[in-house]
Structure 1
Amino acid sequence: MPGARTVIDYAGASVTGRLREINEDAWGAIESASVFIVADGGGGDSSGRLAADLAVTSFRRVFSVRDTGHAAHVNAPPHSEPLALAVLDANARIATAAVGDSVGMGCALIGLRLAPPWLVAVSAGDCRLYRYRRGYDPATYASADEKGGELRRLTVDDVLAIEMWKTGATLDEAAEIERAHPNVVTRIVGVRPDLEVTVSYFPLATDDLYLLCTDGVTRQLDDRTIREIVSDEEQALADRCDALVQAADERVGADNVTAVLLHVMGG
C-alpha cells in the first residue's frame, strides 16, 4: 500500500482536433499536493477555453493556499474536502466571468488528489476517471486482460440518459433518450450557483495507473483500445499518453482531446 510520501509519475497531452480551431480543454498538475485536473470547456471558442483555464487556476489557487497556510476566500465549510472547495471556487469564478459573449460558458472536469491510502476524486459532466490495476487471474476474471490487468471506469457521466435512468427510466428507455438526445450534459461547473459536488474515495495500490480524460477520448476509443494503450509498459508513460490522444484524434478528429496518465509507483 502506498505511504504518505507516495512516489508518482505522470504525463499529460492535449490536441485541438483536426476540425477545431481552438482547444477548449485544459489540464493541470499541482505536484506539491499530488493533485491533477482535466477540464473540458464549453460556451464557444475562447469562452470555453476561459472556463477550463479558470477551473485549473482555481485548483492551483486552493491547493497553493493550503501549502502556504494563507486563508482561502472560498465559500465552503472550513473542514471540507479541498477538491470540493476547488470546484466551488471554479464554479463561482466562471459564473462571475460569464458576461457578454461569454454568458453560458462552463466546463466539465475530473479532478483527483492522492491522500494515501485513498485516491480522492471529484467530477462534473462527462470527463472521466479510469483505473488500470493488475493482480487478476485472466482465467477466472472475465474483465482482465492477458497480463492480469483490469481497466475500470471510476466515475459516472452526468448526462441526461443516466439521470433519467437514476430517476426510474428503464435501461431501454435510457438508451432511447441517449439516441434522441446524445451527450446532453446535466452538470456543468460555472452555470448554476447551487452546484452539487460529489466526492468519491478509492483505495490506492502500488502500481495503479489512473487516466483522467475528456470525452474527446471516450467518444472515439472503446475501453479495450484504451486498456491496450495505457497498459503498454514497453512505452514510457508520456509516450502512452501521446498515443492515446493521437489514436482518439485520428478516429474522427472533431473534438479537442486531452488525457493525463498517473502511475502510482510506491512510497
Structure 2
Amino acid sequence: MEPIRLAVNGRTDIGQVREENEDSIRWYSDQEQPFAYVIVADGMGGYSGGATASQIAADTLQHYLNGLLGDIFLSCSPQQQQLMLRAALIESINSANQRILDTKDTRPQFSQMGTTLVVAAVWQDFLIVAHIGDSRAYLWNNYGLQRLTRDHSVVQEMIDSGQLTPEQAQESQVRNHITRALGVSKQVEPAINSWTLTEDALLLLCSDGLTEYLDDHTIERVLATHRPALESVYLFIEDANRLGGRDNISAGILEFSSRSEAIMTPAEDAITLKPKKDDVTVRKS
C-alpha cells in the first residue's frame, strides 16, 4: 500500500446575527498513524442550551476516538480495526445522547436542548461517516462532489416524496425542522456508512449555517480550485457571512492523499440504519 497522508483543519464562526455560537467542532490527525477525524455538532434549545448540547456531543466523540489507537487496536487485523472503529462511533454517540439527557434532567433551563452531529473518521484507506440531523459530509475527488449524508429533515422527506424540489427546499419555511437529533429521546439512530478510499480526496463536514447559502455546485467549485485545500474552511465561512450569516457556521476539511489512482468504492460492510416511523420532529432555533 502506498503511504497515506492525512491532514485536517476546521473553523467555527458565530455568523452575523446570532448572539451565541451553538456549533461545536473538533478535528484531529495523528502524527504517527494514518488516522484522522472531524466532528461537527449544531446545537439547539435556547440560550446556552444548544451550545451545551453540541459541546457534550463533540467532547464525548473526541474522547472515544482519541482513545481508540491503543495496543489492542493496532494489533488487530484491518477488518477487526474497521469493526472497532464502527463500534466506537456507535458507543460514543449513545454515550453523548445519554449525557445530554442526563444534563437536561439536572438543569431544567436546558430542557429543550439537543444537537445535530456529523463525524467522519479515516483509518488507513477506510472512511466511516455517522450523522444525525442536517449537518452534512461531502467528498470531493477528481470525479466531482458526492454528498455522503442525507439530511434527517422535513424538507428532505418532502424532496424524497416529490413534494419539493431541492431549489424550493432552500426557501421553505420548514427548512430548519429536523426529524432526528441527539438529546431528544433514549433511542438514537445515526445513519452510518463506510467506504474504501482509493484516490486523493477532500472531505468537508459542515453545519447548515454553511449549506443555507452555498449550494453543492458552489461547494464543488471551491474544493476543486482553492489551494491549499485546508484553507477552504476560511473561504466557506467568509462567503456564508457575506451572504447573510443568519446562523452559526462551521466547516472542517480532511485531506486524504495517496498515490493510488482509482475511484472511491463502497466498503462491503457499508450500512445505513433505517429510520423508524416514530421519528420525532424538532425545530432548530
Give the TM-score category using the shorter length: 0.7 to 0.9
Corresponding residue SS for 1:97:
helix
Give the % identical residues. Answer: 27
* Match 1:48 to one of 39, 47, 50: 50
Indicate how the Cα distance of structure 1 residues 194 and 81 shifts in structure 2: closer, same or farther if over 3 A, else same. Answer: same
Structure 2 length as normaliser, TM-score?
A: 0.76
1: CA distance, partners of 2:165 / 2:12 = 35
Query: Structure 1 residue 245: deviation in Å?
Result: 0.9
**Corresponding residue number in structure 1 for 2:66:** 64
After TM superposition, list the pairs within 5 Å mapping 1:58-97 onto structure 2: 58-67=60-69, 81-97=87-103
- The 4+ residue runs of structure 1 with deviation greater than 4 A are 77-80, 172-176
2: CA distance, partners of 1:207 / 1:170 = 35
Q: CA RMSD in A?
A: 2.6
1: CA distance, partners of 2:41 / 2:49 = 13
2: CA distance, partners of 1:19 / 1:30 = 29
2: CA distance, partners of 1:69 / 1:96 = 32
After TM superposition, list the pairs within 5 Å mapping 1:1-267 onto structure 2: 6-32=4-30, 33-67=35-69, 81-98=87-104, 99-134=107-142, 136=143, 150-163=144-157, 169-172=161-164, 179=172, 181-233=174-226, 235-266=227-258
Query: Structure 1 residue 101: deviation in Å?
Result: 0.9
Indicate how the Cα distance of structure 1 residues 64 and 263 shifts in structure 2: closer, same or farther if over 3 A, else same. Answer: closer
Corresponding residue SS for 2:41:
strand
CA offsets 1:11-44 (integer angstroms, 9 cap, x no match)? 1111101111111111112433422201101112
2: CA distance, partners of 1:118 / 1:67 = 15
CA offsets 1:155-203 (integer angstroms, 9 cap, x no match)? 100002334666xx44459969x83533210100111111112210122
- Aligned residue type for 2:88: P
8 Å CA contact 2:230, 2:255 repeated in 1? no
- Aligned residue type for 2:147: R
Number of residue equivalences = 241
2: CA distance, partners of 1:8 / 1:80 = 19
Q: Which runs of 5+ in 1 are unaligned?
A: 71-76, 137-149
Q: Which runs of 5+ in 2 are unaligned?
A: 73-82, 260-285
